Each structure stands twice: as structure tokens, then as C-alpha cells.
Amino acid sequence: MEKTLIIIKPGAVQRGLIGEVLSRFEKKGLQVCGIKMIRFTEESVSEHYAHLSQKPFFNRIKRAMMISPVIVCCLQGVDAVRVVRHLVGATNGREALPGTVRGDFSMSVQENIVHASDSTDSAETELTRFFSPEELFDYDFNNRGFIYANNEF
């Protein structure tokens, strides 16, 4: 079954939204397979946002991601990468649809509450970046027969 990474960003940690954001994914039926609080370093945030290194706002978003600790979390489910991106919504919080995490909690492009891996390849790379193998758990998720039909997983 597919795994993906979310990061609850400093803005959401500071605004007391950790539980609220996480519960969106839990209630949808995604399984939490690993979770911890970390603080980004210059090195880890540069690596994580390497695709934006030529953008004028690169240094600003790096600073914003290091300003307080973040929550990194591995979520598992059928088509988890795509499902989580849909729940997260568009990058710009002002454009993100109501009902999405960003649509409901963000008024900003930069301060948009949560990161989510954008492909199965990046999910694999990002999960390896933030979690060691023993920090990710394979465990029975007894709800599965109620979350999916038995031919879906």
C-alpha cells in the first residue's frame, strides 16, 4: 500500500493546529505509520526545497521552515500520495478550495500549513530523508475492512 509524507509546518505548530490538521487525514482513513517532531537545519531544508533553489523567495521559505519545530508524518493508504495532495489543496491558501487544509486554514502562498509529497518517487525520497526504517511501523489497521471494499486493497 502507498506511503506518503506530510510536514505540519511551523505556522500550523505555532497556531495550535497540529491536532486539527492531523485529524483531517486520520478521519479520511489514512493510517499513520510514523510521526515525530523535528527541527529543520539549513542543510535539511535546502535539500527538501532544492527544486526552488533558483526562486527569489528561497531563503525566505527556508528561514520560515526553521523558525520552530515541525511535525513529520508518514501516511499510508490506497493512492495515498494523490489523496493527500487533494486533501491539502492548492499551494496558494487564498486559492485553495474550502474543505481542503489550506483552503480552510491558510491566507498565504508561503504560510500554507502543510507540505505533502507530490509523487510516489518524491514520497520515497522524502520518507527516507526524515525517517529511519525502524521509525516507520507496519501494523494491523483493523478498520481497513470498513474504510475500503475488500477488492480495493
Residues carrying an active site annotation: 115
Give the DSSP letter of residue 52: G
Q: What is the DSSP string of 79-124?
A: THHHHHHHHH--SSTTTSPBTBHHHHH---SS--SEEE-SSHHHHH
Q: Which is nearer to ligand IDP, 37 or 52 (CB)?
A: 52
For residues 131 and 43, what is the distance between their CA atoms, to the nearest angstrom? 16
The residues, ordered by sequence, that sit 6+ positions from 90 with a Cβ below 8 Å of its Cβ are: 96, 97, 100, 102, 103
Which region among 82-90, 101-109, 111-119, 145-153 touches Mg ion (by CB under 5 A)? 111-119
Q: Please tell me whether residue 24 binds ligand IDP under the rule CB under 6 A.
A: no
Q: What is the DSSP string of 15-38?
A: TT-HHHHHHHHHHHTPEEEEEEEE
Q: Please tell me whether residue 100 binds ligand IDP under the rule CB under 6 A.
A: no
Which region among 23-31, 59-67, 101-109, 114-122 touches Mg ion (by CB under 5 A)? 114-122
User: What residues form DSSP beta bridges with 77?
Assistant: 2
Among 57, 59, 107, 119, binds ligand IDP (CB under 6 A): 57
Partner touching 57 among ligand IDP, Mg ion, none, CB below 5 to 8 Å by kind: ligand IDP
Q: Please tell me whether residue 68 binds ligand IDP under the rule CB under 6 A.
A: no
Counting residues that bind ligand IDP (by CB under 6 A) gives 9
Q: Please tell me whether residue 14 binds ligand IDP under the rule CB under 6 A.
A: no
Which residues of the chain form contacts with ligand IDP (CB under 6 A)? 52, 57, 61, 91, 109-110, 112, 115, 118
